[in-house]
Structure 1
Amino acid sequence: MAIRVLLVDDHRILRDALRLALAREEGIEVVAEAGTAAEALDSAAALRPDVVVLDIGLPDLSGLEVAARLRRLPQPPQVVALSAQTDKRFVSEMLRSGAQAYVTKSSAAEQLVRAVRAVAAGSSYLCPEVADALVSEVRALGGDAPRLGRREHEVLRLLAGGARSAEIAEKLHISPATVDVHRRNIMRKLDLHSVAELTRYAVREGIVAP
């Protein structure tokens, strides 16, 4: 079944380019477009898309508020935030508001496709440009992360990169069950409760590779 996408951006030319990029991908269907927050919320409620690609800078309502309202729908979609900003504050606020991915408008269309596929599969995603900016800022601040084992760091890094248990198992030559054990141990040690929280932690602590 195709991943059903609602594309939200107030710039028609950019929206057309993104729609064409997504439409070329097998297994992805753009079911509607919107140029305002009101249109986006109405379309999301009526069409129940799997993923909403959401511009942060809409003319009638902040993307932060739109993301929060999308979370309150009976069948909330996954949200990919789309922005020209790489500032840590914007990224953190969008993730707290409910976005599972963050992609800059300057990123290649390939990054948007990766983000859509990742969130549709239940993972999180940060485009390399954003990850680089956050990691650089975190490293400049310094600080020590709670101690994780070597294998736990490897599993956390791959999880934060959007990989699923089967993919991690194949890369690390371990069983998917072992991956799940590592994930549970990581969550217990860090007192985190979702892959999205693990991703935010990995970026904050510089575990995600630049």
Structure 2
Amino acid sequence: MPPAGHPATPSENPRGDGDNEPTRVLIVEDHRVVAEGLAALINDQSDMRVVGNVGTVAECVPAAAEFNPDVVLLDFRLPDGTGADAAKALRSIRPAAKMIFLTREDTDTARFAAVQSGASAFLHKSRAAADVVAAIRDVARGKMLITPRTIATLLAKRRSIEAQLERLTPREKEVLTLMAEGLPSRAIAAELGISYTTIRTHIRSLGSKLAVHSKLEAIVKARELGLIS
């Protein structure tokens, strides 16, 4: 404990609640080298420790039940789902746990899913180690690192995406997805069991509704709409 009149430093009291126990961190990351590096970084801090290190959505729930983490550090892309899936599952058993997404997934779709799942922070893996450690400390204290302005922007973009999706027929969504996968028009026709002429009609309709006229534009738009990952 610090002397009377001397405020606790972040390393002495990470949660700011009078509890001097280290912040318990659960890592959910399927790349072992990355997970081990994060564990070494966190365990090198005096005010936090890794209590579990798992690589799938299925593994994170029993791990959280056993170790009762204060903070969960999640990748977005996992072998059996997403970090958002994991966060939602964790909420049902450890509602007080704080969620930090640490990922290479740099899309508004991923950010929106993280916000919906109750994340307190969303960091790209290119961020410095010191930023990750600082985020864990801040989030453990209850700080929200995703700003209201960011959330409002994501909501506005999401409404725009939903409006665009509503304008598309189910068949047009299929055609756009296959265009984004690189299939030429005749191959799309064969895949869907419809005529080449009909495919050309769908592609013209997509061009009119979404301004999609090339494979590259199709890939960008399909990702934006969440039709492909």
* TM-score category of the 2 structures, normalised to the smaller one: 0.5 to 0.7
Residues 78 and 120 in structure 1, CA contact (< 8 A), matched pair in contact too: yes
Mapped to 1, the partners of 2:154 and 2:25 lie a distance apart of 26
Residue 86 in structure 1 maps to residue 37 in structure 2 = no
Mapped to 2, the partners of 1:97 and 1:58 lie a distance apart of 15
Residue 111 in structure 1 maps to residue 131 in structure 2 = yes
Mapped to 2, the partners of 1:3 and 1:66 lie a distance apart of 20
Q: TM-score, normalised by structure 1?
A: 0.59
Q: Which residue of 2 aligns with 1:200?
A: 151
Aligned length: 136
- Which among 41, 44, 47 is matched to residue 21 of structure 1? 41
Identity of aligned residues (%): 33
Residue 68 in structure 1 maps to residue 19 in structure 2 = no
Structure 2 unaligned segments of length 5 or more: list them: 1-20, 157-229
Match for 2:137: what amino acid? R
- For residues 125-164 of structure 1, the C-alpha deviation after alignment (integer angstroms, 9 at most, x for no partner) is 25xxxxxxxxxxxxxxxxxxxxxxxxxxxxxxxxx4xxxx
Residues 28 and 54 in structure 2, CA contact (< 8 A), matched pair in contact too: yes
Match for 1:200: what amino acid? I
Q: Which residue of 2 aligns with 1:99?
A: 119
Quick check: which has more Rg, 1 or 2?
2
Structure 1 unaligned segments of length 5 or more: list them: 127-159, 161-196, 206-210
- Which among 37, 44, 66 is matched to residue 64 of structure 2? 44
Residues 108 and 154 in structure 2, CA contact (< 8 A), matched pair in contact too: no
Q: Which residue of 2 aligns with 1:132?
A: none
Residue 4 in structure 1 maps to residue 47 in structure 2 = no
Residues 48 and 75 in structure 1, CA contact (< 8 A), matched pair in contact too: no
Alpha-carbon shift at residue 109 of structure 1 (Å): 1.3
Mapped to 1, the partners of 2:153 and 2:133 lie a distance apart of 22
Mapped to 1, the partners of 2:87 and 2:133 lie a distance apart of 19
- For residues 158-191 of structure 1, the C-alpha deviation after alignment (integer angstroms, 9 at most, x for no partner) is xx4xxxxxxxxxxxxxxxxxxxxxxxxxxxxxxx
Mapped to 2, the partners of 1:25 and 1:204 lie a distance apart of 36
